[in-house]
Amino acid sequence: MPSNNAPVLHYIFDPLCGWCYAAAPLLAAARALPGLEIQWHAGGMLSGPARRTITPDWRAHVMPHDERIAKLTGQPFGDAYYNGLLNQVGATLDSTPPIAAMLAAEAMDGRGLDFLARAQAAHYVEGRQIATLAVLQALAHELGLDTLSFTTHYEIALAGDTARHIEESREWLQASGGQGFPTFVFEFTDGASGRRVAQRIDMGPWLGNPTGWQEHLRQGLAAAEDAAQG
């Protein structure tokens, strides 16, 4: 539940979703906005039966999307990703390990979204396999998290918390009417009824324009404050 009945921006995403990487500057802009609480929901796009391995067909499938994202948003894609990772046939693409790592970072120091940003850069720029524990441990260390404690929290998350989180995130996506990842939902209190209201926000017009997105959210916060006062 939000603290002090504050407005909340819910972010429904997956760490291996290219369009979520496209939305990363929007998320960063939202996190920098005073008075707005962020709650994240990782949906496990490539978890369980949906887990994949890299193949030439997969590379051919994702590259046009990645190139469009780069052109639309300016998000960087490294040669180590295009010509390194995407050519590592047989490498695992599994959303569950990075989600568990985010939960570990959140439990340790409230840094789940910091871990997401670092993991996305590791994947899309540095071409690192973020489904492997060694890479996740290295990223945690780079963020200043104690590796031993991180590993303990990670293993706890893998034992059950991650599956529950993914299930709840998918419920959020369905309830919001979102069509996929990423989806943003703005939640606030209606003063007249005292009820929490959740509204899905179309991020499409703001891709590549985090400043405009931040102003859009700022206006939403002002409207939510008015609504809270009835």
Average pLDDT over residues 196-208: 94
What's the mean pLDDT in 108-128? Answer: 98
Domain ranges of the chain: 3-228
Q: pLDDT: is 130 or 229 the higher one?
A: 130
Q: What is d(CA 223, CA 145) in angstroms, rounded to the nearest whole number?
A: 38
pTM for the model stands at 0.95
pLDDT over 90, % of the chain: 90
The CATH architecture annotation of domain 3-228 reads: 3-Layer(aba) Sandwich (3.40)
Q: How confident is the model at residue 4 (pLDDT cuts 50, 70, 90)?
A: low
Mean pLDDT of the chain, nearest integer = 95
Alpha-carbon distance of 16 to 131, in angstroms, equals 10
